[in-house]
Structure 1
Amino acid sequence: MNKQQFWQLIEQSNKQEEPIEWLTETLAQKEVAEIVDLEYYFQTFQQESYQSRLWAAAYLLMDGCSDDTFDYFCGWLIIQGEETFHKVLESPEYLAAYITEENLGEEGYPQNEELLTAGFDACTLKKTGDIK
């Protein structure tokens, strides 16, 4: 899997009713090397998003932002897709115009904790047939 394929998979997952569940199940059908590749790109983009300006924007949006919460925020940002991810990194102020009720997490915040374990969950599902 290359960077373009990573973003294509993210875009495809966004068209699903349950994006992370779909992503996990789709990954579980692939070779372990492809799951590792996805995890590599996810970690790369997670690292890229560790910027003080972005953390400050997340802090203001959520009325506080711990380090774990920022990880979940970065997961949410990545799952929004390549275009949004890069726009927000370039200008965190873009979040003010981008965020709507439709693209917030279940709690009403821009967070996605599930994406952080999608690669691990896919490997577990592939090996055992169950995520738990």
Structure 2
Amino acid sequence: MLNMTRESFWNYVSEAQNNTKNGSEMLNYLTEKLSKETDETIFSFGIIIDELMLESYNEKLWCASYLINGEDSEEFFDFFRLWLISQGKDVYEEILKNPDDLIKYVKTPEEDGFASDLYENEDFFFVAIDAFRIKNSLEDFEEAFEKYLEVFDEYKEKLNYQDEDYPKLKFSWNKKVPNSMKKECPKLFGRLYIGDSELDA
């Protein structure tokens, strides 16, 4: 059994949201708070992120990610899902049920006042690692990362915890076929799809 429940995990995220003004402050808050816990609790936080990443790995959400960010690589889909987790339990669970509901949480560049505003949060993945670094007084991040992975694996072995493989997705949409994306996420498509003159001709 993990040292942290899902409920506790989401409470951490909610508390960080309620006590900070932006994403950077939130990450720092989470890291500092987690660094005061046991190594086992820190590892459990990391495992829960891995589980949520696996649970949110589906092709419809990937379509939503592409429409929002204009990036379709697997790496960027990872960063998008980390952003989604960082939004908290209610948003995460709502969007898993219907990715098109992201329309309520994103803005176009014109609405936001920026040329682009990517919905990604790669750094959320490193919260547990950085908390482990601080707790164990390790100054070098690369050294801390290697040590974290080593002890993290030992913790999972102790629990007899087995990682699950990601499923192989069967895509019903293709960025070269706009109507296929419109079918998956009509509201996001309607507001965010810019189009390609060659594809839409």
TM-score between both structures, scaled by the size of structure 2 = 0.60
CA RMSD in angstroms, aligned pairs only: 1.6
Aligned to 2:67: 60
Letter of the structure 2 residue corresponding to residue 93 of structure 1? D
1:5 is aligned to 8
Among the aligned pairs, what percent are the same residue?
28
How do 1:24-39 and structure 2 match up within 5 A?
A: 24-39=31-46
1:131 CA displacement: 6.6
Structure 1 Cα separation of the partners of residues 104 and 50 of structure 2: 26
C-alpha change, 1:73 and 1:67, in structure 2 (3 Å) is same
Equivalence for 2:159: none
Q: Which has the higher contact order (CA 8 A, sep 6+)?
A: 1
Find 1:119's aligned residue among 113, 128, 138: 128
Where does the alignment leave 5 or more consecutive residues of structure 2 unmatched? 109-115, 142-201
Q: 1: distance between equivalents of 2:76 and 2:70?
A: 11
Query: What is the match of residue 117 of structure 2?
Result: 108
Q: Which is richer in helix?
A: 1
Deviation at 1:36, TM superposition (A): 0.9
Q: Deviations over 1:38-94 (max 9, x none)?
A: 111111101111110000110111112211111110110001000100110100000
Q: What secondary structure, in the 3-state scheme, does the structure 2 residue paired with 1:25 have? A: helix
Indicate the structure (1 or 2) with the bigger Cα radius of gyration: 2
Matches within 5 A, 1:63-82: 63-82=70-89
The SS at the match of 2:136 is helix
Distance 1:131 1:120 in 2: 12
1:128 Cα deviation after fit: 1.6
Q: TM-score, normalised by structure 1?
A: 0.89
User: 1:130, CA displacement in angstroms?
Assistant: 4.3
CA positional deviation for 1:99 = 1.7
CA distance in 2, matches of 1:53, 1:77: 14
1:99 pairs with 102, 106, 110, which one? 106
User: Secondary structure of the residue that 1:93 maps to in structure 2?
Assistant: helix
Aligned partner of 2:53 in structure 1 is 46
